[in-house]
Structures are given as structure tokens and as C-alpha cells.
Amino acid sequence: MRSFADVIFAFGPAKGESNLTKVLKKPDSHIRTLIARDSIPPEYWPRLIEAAPQYGVRGLTYELLAKLRTRRFGRAA
């Protein structure tokens, strides 16, 4: 995964909407905004990492997310 959008897409769709709507308990429009901004706020990271195995997402770690944030914004969480 090379971007936050890649992380989101790794969770795959669920009947037309992202599985992250379930994981993050946010509407699909919010997930689309995260994709457009190529950003996932750090407060969502624990839920993502916890849910990753259930959705077959491999290699998702705090280190990876911090690296993506540093690459995107020039600083870690």
C-alpha cells in the first residue's frame, strides 16, 4: 500500500459502498472524502488495524500508516 487511498481500497467494497463505512461507522460520502484527500486521520487507525484481518487486509500497521502520513504531510501523527 503506497497511499491512504490504497489502504481504503484494500478493505474492498460491500454492495456498492466501502467496507470502511462499517469499520469507521461513517457514511460512504465520508469515505469518498478520505479517498479524495488521500488521508486517514490518526484517530481512525486503531479501528483500521483491528479490522484489517477480518477483511483480508495484510501488512497494515501503525508504522505503515505513520510512514504514509509522513510522506503525505511531512510529519508523523
Query: Which amino acid does the sequence have at 9?
Result: F
pLDDT score of 73: 84
Neighbours of 6 (CB within 10 A): 12
Full-model pTM: 0.87
Annotate 45-76 with b (16+ C-beta within 10 A) or e (fewer).
Answer: beebeebbeebebeebeeeebeebbeeeeeee
More confidently predicted of 75 and 25: 25
The residue range of the domain holding 11 is: 4-73
Calculate the average pLDDT of the chain: 91
Q: Is the per-residue pLDDT at 15 higher than 70?
A: no
How far, in Å, CA of 16 to CA of 58, rounded?
A: 22
Residue of 50, 44, 40 whose CA lies nearest to 71: 40
Question: What is the percent of the chain where pLDDT is above 90?
Answer: 79
Report the number of distinct structural domains present in the chain. 1
